[in-house]
Amino acid sequence: MLGSAEQLAQVFHGVADDGPARGNRTISIHPAGGLQVRVLPDRGLDIGAAWFAGSPVAWLSPVGETAWSGDNWLAGWAGGLLTTCGLRNVGTPSEGHPMHGSATGLHASGVQVTRSLEQDGSIAVTVAGTMIDASAFGPVLRLDRTITVHTGRSDIGIVDDTSNLGQRTEQTPILYHVNFGYPFLGPSSFVDGRIMWSEPRDPDSARVGQGWAMMGPPLLDDEDVVVEHGVAEGSDGWRTLRVASPESGQQASVAWDAATLPRVHTWRRATRGSYAMAVEPANCSVLGREHDRTAGTAPWLEPGQRRRTQLRIEFSTL
């Protein structure tokens, strides 16, 4: 009955022709009965807007879709379902590297989109591409990313291979900023999981106590709450946190391979106009590369070494 896989899994390639994102490539994927996503090849193959059951689920910042702005990370952050932080710094600016590094500003090359029939009868749509983070006479890091969505399934998988192609051992932090926003989020939205301990990033975050887990009503004042968590592994070696939202009747689970992403942070910003919650699997802190090196917790890659990091985001109804 099916004349073409495109009938069930449409993919639209485009180039923004107006505004601050002008000239940037886009790939919009519309799998029947699946999660619809907007992939951004000129923003590190990150994921912008996303829709579950026809409703937006990702947080989008007032900046809007835009080209990379260099050192001013916040001025160029459009939000989106997934923002990659790294590959040389995460969190606080450190040792000449900007806040959260420049991974989201890398341009993907060799971008390919494929469709394949899975054993469960679904059609998998895969986007793959390569980013190079290098200088002429310095470090050379390569990130090969694969993103997969399916028809009939409301999940998305991200697999990254980071390789050190240079001649020296390199410090290689990475953090996945998975961002949820209105109308998926509401005041009664909350985060839960097999959490064993929680550690606030700073005194302001500590002041809310266990309130970090609840969105609460929109606030007039700026309030960023960042907390690191210890989460128990499942039998498969993966860890999971859930964001549930009674207002929308929806929930999302963020799962990651703990073998190479041993840490996770959450970010809550209930400020009116920037109402967001993020789950952030990582291999590092959010205090910058110098802090991690001093603490003896910095992640490294030897020359020629490759590291695979994986996560999965899945939506469902409550």
Residue 315 in contact with residue 309, Cβ under 8 Å? no
Confidence at residue 64, expressed as pLDDT on a 0 to 100 scale: 87
Residue whose tokens read 């951004």? 40
What is the average pLDDT value for the chain, to the nearest integer? Answer: 93
pLDDT digits 0-9 by tens, 125-154: 999 999 999 988 889 999 999 999 999 999
Cα–Cα distance for residue pair 239/233, rounded to 1 Å:
5
Over 60: is that where the pLDDT of 3 sits? no
> Where residue 93 falls among pLDDT bands split at 50, 70, 90?
very high
The torsion defined by the Cα of 89, 290, 226 and 192, in degrees rounded to 10, comes to 80
Query: Does the domain made of 5-317 have the CATH classification 3.30.1640.10?
Result: no
Where do the domains of the chain lie? Answer: 5-317
Reading the block at residue 41, the tokens are 């090849």
Q: Is the pTM of this model over 0.85?
A: yes
Cα–Cα distance for residue pair 246/187, rounded to 1 Å:
9
Cα–Cα distance for residue pair 90/284, rounded to 1 Å:
7
Half-sphere exposure of 96 (CA within 13 A, CB side): 0
User: Which residues are CB-neighbours of 248 under 8 A, at least 6 positions away?
Assistant: 55, 183, 184, 185, 186
